[in-house]
Every structure is written in structure tokens, then in C-alpha cells.
Amino acid sequence: MFDLDSLTETALDILRFDGEIGDTLTELRRHWGQSVPALFDARLDHIVLQYRPFEHEVGVQALGQELSALGWGLYDLGEEDEYLFIMISDAQKDDFEKQCRKAKYNFKRMKQRGRKWGQPAKTQSLQPVMPCQDVYFPDDAYYTIQEIAGNFASGIWIAKEDDQQGKFVADLRNSPLQPIRVQWKDFRELTYSQELDFYAAIYSSPYSDHVIGGKDPARINDWPALTPRSMKKLGRLYWFCDRLCCGDEESLLFLTMNERGCENTQRFILSASDEECKLAADGQGRIFAQRHRRDSRLTCYENQDLKAYPFLRMKDYDALGNSIPIPGTSRLLMIKETWGDGDTKGNLFDLDMDNGHCQIVPLPGMGENLKIRHFTGDWVLIYNSGEDFRTDFAQLWNPKTNEILRIRSGMFGLQKPDHIVALPDGQVVITTRHSQIGSVLHQPEDFWTFLRTANKPKKLGKWLRYSASYPNIPHTLPKSRGKSCQYKLSKLVEPVLKFKNLNFKLAVMNVLMYDKALLEPKFDIWEFADEYSRRRIDPETEGYDQMIPEAANWFRRYPIPARLALEITRIDMDGGDEINCQLAPNWDGEDELFNIQAITPEELSQFPRLQRASIFTTQDRSVVPVFRQCGITVVSAYDVPFDIEDADADPQANAFNEKGQH
């Protein structure tokens, strides 16, 4: 007998809809690793690799299914928003379930729909891995890259044998990497100006912070100070053309730089603040400073003078420092988060600093807490922390072509990407962080070609304009003006076909809409998602093991004129049918999602010219006889005859046939 209450008290508590499936496997191993060695089977790591892009619930079901093939059941005793996981061996599972049912105790075996105990989890296609040459640090310490600027990286080193640690810089062009240990205390904020080919950073003395700089980080321990006086708690360093800027708790510092160093210093005393100063520039070279996070009034540096900028203030948590200028204009691009549909989304925001006019475009598949910076050439990089494998690590956007190139976490196997940069000569480098060895540098073999072939072509969406001026705009996205209504369905005044089974209707519509182009509009999930306003549909991340519900409902309600029934003489179902790709754009074709599992004589009688049908079904003993009794030759979609005698025909079909109605 099982002590069910005790099992519940000692169960592993995990939030149902939070986290990433790899983290959940780590927790399972930590909790039961000693008593359940099967948890360390490499097959489970492979499941994590396959199911990271999916929702947490889907990944947990896959883990439970694979565990059953390893002789263990993963059960959930929780309710609503939490899992209470327990593990039961194959030998005990029947007794456990029987006792739970008898005691009316809540339990749920974590498994995949349609798969039996002991079957492995359904295989999912893996994201192509980016071909790279890997470059390593020496093994005398753990080296973790924190910043990359120009050709150099900086970060922290931790000794393997003792408690020593410190900061380092390393030239990324060297292989293997040769770290140089930094003597400056609290060294940070390594940054680079490509225009001046000059580096700068910050170090701390006991009572103040200083800006240092030089041409070559390999000689960093000899760099001179750029600031003539000490400052307290310096924040981030910003390069704006030949200006190197930063702020502390009571002032702003503007250094006019040349290729040899600092030629002029301006310091402006401001009211004290305990918040980091954020700076940004528009396309006309004006530098704006944001001192407070909420309802922040701005100051503007122009013509070597700093003045209050009464026209505009930053709203709520919009961070001015997370932006890039639009050259030749009074505008800048920044990241802005919007609320709606129960979550927060990151968007690209275009703001005119002269008049507050603004527009916004969603960034599907990118999540929140995004950053933006110039990458190389015409390309802009938008990226996140890389912690959530269900979203893209980054997207590259070309403003001239509107092309989007996705950089997905799965492109680097089980490792999480940490940094992606283009060196001054255009070479792209990526870093990942490994718990046992620190950072690893990856040099892609053909970065741009790989990104274009690894994903479907994608464009940035439509810019949406706010009717009001910034900051008087809502927290939500504006409604698109003049938005297309091509997917709005209207009632027909003529007779229409009637269906009881959606999948049979889809097989018919694939012929009429995609093969013969007799139904309009030709459904495109991307256009439909852009037009749909009740929630944000993302075809990149939805439609794996089920149809996108709103799309399925559109096809369910679509009125097909009865006169088009004469056009249906043959149905040939195929896993790659265009209608399947639109309803479930990420479906792998390995389950019964589009199978015809039921059919009625009334549905078939509407198609007097239908002579042959090749179909997907696992309910052949009930479906096939209905086709046959209606005089339709039916074979499997693999062109294999069904081995079913007419005597097995469905009684409903026989009765229908006897009445001579077909």
C-alpha cells in the first residue's frame, strides 16, 4: 500500500507553465537521481533538445513518455498551476493507480496523447546546428566572457585550485585564446569606437571611479586615465561619434575624443540621483539623458551645451539607453514592451524626438526583456538573455530590405548562446557558456548562408501608428488602420455543402482552394495571423501537435458553394498538403492530426463525381465501408488497399445504400 498523503508531501513542486524543460529535467535528477538512475539516461537529454521550443506542458509530457520506456512513470498529484511530481516504477504503477482510483485521489500520468506506456516519446525534428570552429581558453582557470568590444572580450577568471579570481581581456582573433589578466580593480564596461579605433573602460579606486582608455587592450594595464577628476558610481559608457559619455550619481560627463585620446572634457552637475543615467542619440547627433526611470524628464546635449528638454519625457519603464539612432533624422529606434493577451511582449519602437510621433511593430517569437544594437553593415541585432529556448535568442533585421534572420537557441545544440557580435572586419563570433569550462568561442563557417537556409524566409511585420503622440499612448498595441478584412467570412445566398467531420472538409478544401484555386482567399496563416486581432498568433511557434485553433475554426465555418461539389472527382490526401502546412505550420506529419476518423453517407452523397479517395485513417473498419457503400474506391494515403470485407461495413452505410440514395 502507498501512503498517498506522504507521497504528496514529499513530491517535487514545479510551476506548471513556467520554466524550460531542461530545467525541469535538472530538478528531477536532483530530486530522484540517486534512487532513479534512469533519469541520467542520454535519451532524456535528447528529448530536451527536441522539445525545448515547445510549451513547458508539452515538454513534460514528452519526458514522462520517454521515462515510461525506461521503466518509470512520472505522475502529477497537483492541481491548477503547479505540478506535484512523483515517480513510480513499472512494477508498481498498476497498484498505485488502482489505489488512487479507489481512494478518489487526484493523479495524472504524464504521457503523450495517443502513445502507450513503454513507447518512446514522439520524435521531433531538431533545429539545424550552426557549423562552427570552436576556440577555447587555457585550462588553467575558468574564463567567462562578460563583454565584447571591437576585437576583444573581457570577463572574469576564477582559479581552479584556490579562491583567486579577477578580470581579463582577450583578443578574439587569437586561437587558442590568450587571456591577459587585468590589474585594475573592479574593471568593467569595456567599449570600443570603430570610427576612432579606440577602446575605453572603467575602474574603481577606494573612493571613486575613473575612465581609462587606449588603442590596444593587450596593453590595458598601462592605459592612462581619461578623466581629470574622480567621479562616483559611474554607469555605462556610451560612444556617440567622437563623444564618450557617462554619468554618475550627480553629474554627466562628455569627453571629446580623437584617435590618440581625450582632447576635451565637459562635466555638468545635476541634482543627485541614485538611479543609473541612460543616454541615447537621435539621427541628428543630439544626445539625450534620462535620469529617472519613471516619468523621466530629459536633458539634451547639443552644440556643447546641456539643457533641459521640456518637449518630451520618457514614459513608465521605457529605457532610452536601449536604442539606436536612425541616421539623418530626429528619430531613434528603441525596444518597447506592451501588455495584452495576458502577457508582455517586446516590440520595435520608432520615436521622433522632435514631435513625439511614433510607430511600433511586434517582434514575434522574441519574448520580452530585449536589447537592440547595431550589428554590421545595414543589419540591426535584437536579442534577449538566451534563457528561454522557446523564443529566438536573437533576430537580425535589415531596415533596407525588411529581412529578418532568426538566430535560435537550438542552433548551438544543448548550450545556451551568450553573446553574438561582428568584429570590425565583419567576422561573426558567438559565445556559449559551459558550466564545467567557462566560455567557448564559436566562429561560424558561413554565418549568413546558414541563417537563410535554416529557417523559412521572414520579413518584419507592419508598422502600426499611434494616433496620439508619445508619451500619451496606451500600454497596448494600436489597431492597424485600413487593415485587410480578406478573412472575414460572409453568408452565401446559394446552397452550401454540409460537413460533420472537419478533416474530411479539409481534404475537400485542399482540392478546391489549393489545387484548383476555386475558393478565395487562398488561406495563408501569416496573413491570417496579421489580420486576427483577438490575440497574437505566432506561426513560428504554434501548430506543432495541433491545428492553430483560430485557423481551424475559420475552415470549419467556411461556406463552400454546393455547385463546386462537381469539381471533386478524386481526393488524394498527403501529409505535405498545403492546407496542413497552413493549419499546423510546425507539424511533423507523424501523428493522426489530419486523419479522417469518421465519415457519414450524407457527407459523401454531396459528391456524385467522386470516384476515388486515398485517405489517412486509423479507423478503417468504420470509415472505409462508408466510402465503399457509396460506390467510391478507397485506398490508404500510401496507395495500399484496405483489407476490409464488405461484411464489415458500417450498418449506417449499409442502410443508406439499401435505400438507393447514392
Residue 115: which of 45, 47, 185, 179 has the closest Cα?
47
* Bridge partners, residue 60, by sequence: none
pLDDT at 643 (0 to 100) = 73
Going by pLDDT thresholds of 50, 70 and 90, the confidence category of residue 343 is low
- Compute how many other C-beta atoms are within 10 angstroms of the C-beta atom of residue 3: 9
Is 601:626 a contact under the CB 8 Å cutoff?
A: yes
* Bridge partners, residue 168, by sequence: 155, 181
Residue 603: which of 508, 514, 512, 517 has the closest Cα?
508
What DSSP line would sit under 313-378, residue for residue?
Answer: EE-TT--TTSEEE-TTSSEEEEEEEEEETTEEEEEEEEEETTT--EEEEE-TT--SS-EEEEEETT
Give the whole-angstrom CA distance, residue 293 versus residue 276.
9
Going by pLDDT thresholds of 50, 70 and 90, the confidence category of residue 22 is confident
Beta strand 570-572 with 612-615 is parallel
How are strands ordered across the β-sheet holding 238-240?
A: 238-240, 243-247, 251-258, 261-269
Going by pLDDT thresholds of 50, 70 and 90, the confidence category of residue 277 is confident
State the cell numbers at 501. Answer: 467531420
623: enclosing H helix or E strand:
helix 620-629
Say which amino acid occupies 340: G
Is 535:487 a contact under the CB 8 Å cutoff?
A: no
640: enclosing H helix or E strand:
none
Give the whole-angstrom CA distance, residue 351 versus residue 355.
9
Residues 587-604 have pLDDT tens digits of 877 788 999 999 999 999
482: enclosing H helix or E strand:
none
Whether 210 is in a domain gets the answer no
pLDDT at 205 (0 to 100) = 84
Whether 212 is in a domain gets the answer no
Give the whole-angstrom CA distance, residue 652 versus residue 276.
75
Between residues 416 and 245, which one has the greater pLDDT?
Answer: 245
The pLDDT of residue 648 is above 60? no
In degrees rounded to 5, what are phi and psi of residue 329?
Answer: -130, 175
Among candidate residues 94, 109, 124, the one where a domain is terminated = 109
The pLDDT of residue 227 is above 50? yes
Q: Is 240 helix (H, G, I), strand (E, B) or coil?
A: strand
Whether 597 is in a domain gets the answer yes
State the cell numbers at 221. Answer: 594595464
Host domain of residue 89: 4-109
pLDDT at 52 (0 to 100) = 80
Q: Is 244 helix (H, G, I), strand (E, B) or coil?
A: strand
The Cα-based distances of 13 to 37, 81, 193 in angstroms read 20, 10, 49
Whether 163 is in a domain gets the answer no
* Bridge partners, residue 432, by sequence: 417, 440
Whether 75 is in a domain gets the answer yes
State what percent of residues in the chain have pLDDT above 70. 93
Residues 550-583 have pLDDT tens digits of 999 999 999 999 999 999 999 999 888 899 989 9
Structural domains counted in the chain: 2
Give the whole-angstrom CA distance, residue 550 versus residue 532.
9
Instruction: For residue 590, give every residue at least 6 positions away whose Cβ sits within 8 Å of its Cβ, in sequence order, or none.
Output: 122, 123
DSSP state, 379? E
* Bridge partners, residue 376, by sequence: 379
The pLDDT of residue 661 is above 60? no
State the cell numbers at 133. Answer: 570552429
pLDDT at 381 (0 to 100) = 97
Is 175:194 a contact under the CB 8 Å cutoff?
A: no
Q: Considering the chain, what is the average pLDDT of its residues?
A: 88
Taking residues 252-263, report their average pLDDT: 92
What b/e string do you get for 360-386 counting C-beta neighbours within 10 Å, with b at 16 or more?
A: bbbbbbbbbebebeebbeebbbbbbeb
The gap from C-alpha 429 to its chain's centroid, in whole angstroms, comes to 21
The pLDDT of residue 365 is above 90? no
Among candidate residues 79, 109, 139, the one where a domain is terminated = 109
pLDDT at 88 (0 to 100) = 94
How are strands ordered across the β-sheet holding 188-193?
A: 188-193, 198-204, 209-214
Give the whole-angstrom CA distance, residue 456 versus residue 161.
48
Going by pLDDT thresholds of 50, 70 and 90, the confidence category of residue 656 is very low
Is 59:46 a contact under the CB 8 Å cutoff?
A: no
Residues 430-481 have pLDDT tens digits of 999 887 788 999 999 999 999 999 888 889 988 999 989 998 998 888 875 5
The pLDDT of residue 392 is above 70? yes
DSSP state, 477? P
Among candidate residues 109, 130, 148, the one where a domain is terminated = 109
The gap from C-alpha 396 to its chain's centroid, in whole angstroms, comes to 13
In degrees rounded to 5, what are phi and psi of residue 532?
Answer: -70, 130
Residue 644: which of 606, 617, 611 has the closest Cα?
617
Is 417:386 a contact under the CB 8 Å cutoff?
A: yes
Give the whole-angstrom CA distance, residue 595 versus residue 211.
67
The Cα-based distances of 41 to 66, 67, 88, 396 in angstroms read 10, 9, 17, 37
The mean-pLDDT minimum among 69-73, 79-83, 282-286, 577-581 falls in 79-83
Residues 509-559 have pLDDT tens digits of 999 999 999 999 999 998 898 788 778 788 877 888 899 999 999 999 999
Whether 651 is in a domain gets the answer yes
154: enclosing H helix or E strand:
strand 152-159
Residues 124-158 have pLDDT tens digits of 877 788 999 999 999 999 999 999 999 999 999 99
Q: Count the helix, strand and coil residues of the chain and give each as a percent rounded to the nearest 5.
A: 20, 30, 45
pLDDT at 649 (0 to 100) = 42
Largest CA distance in the chain: 102
Long-range contacts of 488-496 (CB under 8 A, 24+ apart): 489/554, 489/557, 489/558, 489/559, 491/559, 492/559, 492/561, 494/561, 494/562, 494/563, 495/561, 495/562, 495/563, 496/559, 496/560, 496/561, 496/562
pLDDT at 84 (0 to 100) = 92
The pLDDT of residue 253 is above 80? yes
Q: Is 562 helix (H, G, I), strand (E, B) or coil?
A: helix
Length of the chain as a residue count: 662
The gap from C-alpha 545 to its chain's centroid, in whole angstroms, comes to 18
Residues 80-99 have pLDDT tens digits of 778 999 999 999 999 999 99
Residues 600-621 have pLDDT tens digits of 999 999 999 999 999 999 999 9
* Bridge partners, residue 443, by sequence: 133
Is 562:495 a contact under the CB 8 Å cutoff?
A: yes
The Cα-based distances of 227 to 83, 200, 268 in angstroms read 55, 11, 14
Angle, vertex CA 530, rays to CA 517 and CA 477, nearest 5? 165
The pLDDT of residue 655 is above 60? no
- Compute how many other C-beta atoms are within 10 angstroms of the C-beta atom of residue 157: 21
Q: How many CA atoms lie within 13 A of 325 on its CB side?
A: 18
Whether 516 is in a domain gets the answer yes
Say which amino acid occupies 482: G
pLDDT at 401 (0 to 100) = 94
Residues 265-276 have pLDDT tens digits of 999 988 777 677
Instruction: For residue 274, give every residue at least 6 positions away whose Cβ sits within 8 Å of its Cβ, in sequence order, or none.
Output: 249
Instruction: For residue 111, give every residue at least 6 positions away whose Cβ sits within 8 Å of its Cβ, in sequence order, or none.
Output: 61, 64, 65, 68, 117
CA end-to-end distance (rounded Å), the chain: 60
Whether 38 is in a domain gets the answer yes
